[in-house]
Amino acid sequence: MKNRSLVSINDYSPAEILEILNLAAEFEKNPGQALLTGYVVATLFFEPSTRTRLSFESAINRLGGRVIGFSDSSSSSVSKGESLKDTILTVSNYSDLIVMRHPLEGSAQYASEVSPVPIINAGDGAHQHPTQTLLDLYSIRKTQGRLDNLKICMVGDLKYGRTVHSLLIAMSAFQPLFTFIAPEELKMPDEYKHLLDKKGIPYQEHRDIADNLNDADIIYMTRVQRERFSDPLEYEKVKNVYILRDSMLTNTKSNMRILHPLPRVNEINPDVDSNPKAYYFEQALNGVYTRMAIISKILGVK
Ligand code: CP
């Protein structure tokens, strides 16, 4: 992993994924390790973020490194027309590693091809969000005690949700059973279903959320991604298609946990928050330990 960019979850083998999860567990037990003294990490966010950017910055600070970057590209020379290539070549002069979120699919791959320092993809359009997947896997293993043979129910915007695409790919190494719950307009794209077919991994697809949650080990809720719709009317039609409520959890497994990459809008009613099965805020905390592990591995300090 040392000096390698992380663009897609496919960049890591299942053994490397487990290495990251084990190191994240070590950081959770002992977060105060000054391994990045003298290192500078750049965070370039061309799209809004709360958790990804701040958990990366928290991870870097906890490891004793320094952070530079921007959270709004309008404050950078991108607003004057500077290209992504020129931005990356410039920022790589100032940093040892670049964490980048960008609205265009493929932008992280492109950045990794022109950059002399490693790139971490913090989300590229509707494509992938591999560090979210690593923290999701960490959260799943921590709550279920294993990654193998779990029933994962993905709900909501399975078309544009990059977190479900990355998670599907990563979990497919661990013999999962998938249930996809989405309206027709937001179904899991065929390319991901073909990948499951090729690997012989079973999945079911449903339109209705009722009656399809009770045998899940993990319910992975997602937000309908307003920013990916070209027609606002299409978004209006589906924006509140699923709202998970506490009353719907009565017959779910006792050890089931609800994950959501967040932010949520209306898809999880606040009455779920106090249910012990709600895990999404702990999941966001796990992002710090997981990102500490990813950075440490890429910079070769651990
Ligand atoms: N999960 C996630 O990517 O959240 P942010 O958009 O707040 O970074």
225 or 287: whose pLDDT is higher?
Answer: 287
Identify the bridge partners of residue 268 per DSSP, sorted by sequence position. Answer: 244
- Residue whose C-alpha is closest to residue 135's, from 296, 7, 297, 261: 261
Q: Is 221 helix (H, G, I), strand (E, B) or coil?
A: strand
CB distance 302 to 30 below 8 Å: no
Amino acid at 281: F
pLDDT for the residue numbered 45: 97
pLDDT for the residue numbered 276: 98
Query: How far is 288 from 239, CA to CA, in rounded Å?
Result: 30
Please report, rounded to a whole number, the percentage of residues in the chain having pLDDT higher than 90. 89
Q: Domains plus CATH for the chain? A: 9-128+287-299 (3.40.50.1370), 130-284 (3.40.50.1370)
Nearest atom in ligand 1 to the alpha carbon of residue 123 is 3
If one residue of 45, 46, 47, 52 were mutated to test the ligand 1 pocket, choosing by the most ligand atoms within 8 A of its CB, it would be 52
Q: What is the pLDDT of residues 250-260, one digit of tens each?
A: 999 999 999 99
Q: What is the pLDDT of residues 38-56, one digit of tens each?
A: 999 999 999 999 999 999 9
* φ/ψ of residue 180, rounded to 5: -110, 120
Strands (E), 239-280: 257-259
pLDDT for the residue numbered 67: 98
If one residue of 46, 49, 227 were mutated to test the ligand 1 pocket, choosing by the most ligand atoms within 8 A of its CB, it would be 49
pLDDT for the residue numbered 227: 79
The answer to pTM > 0.85 is yes
Strands (E), 35-145: 40-45, 66-70, 97-102, 119-124
**How would residue 237 be classed by pLDDT, with cut points 50, 70 and 90?**
confident
pLDDT for the residue numbered 265: 92
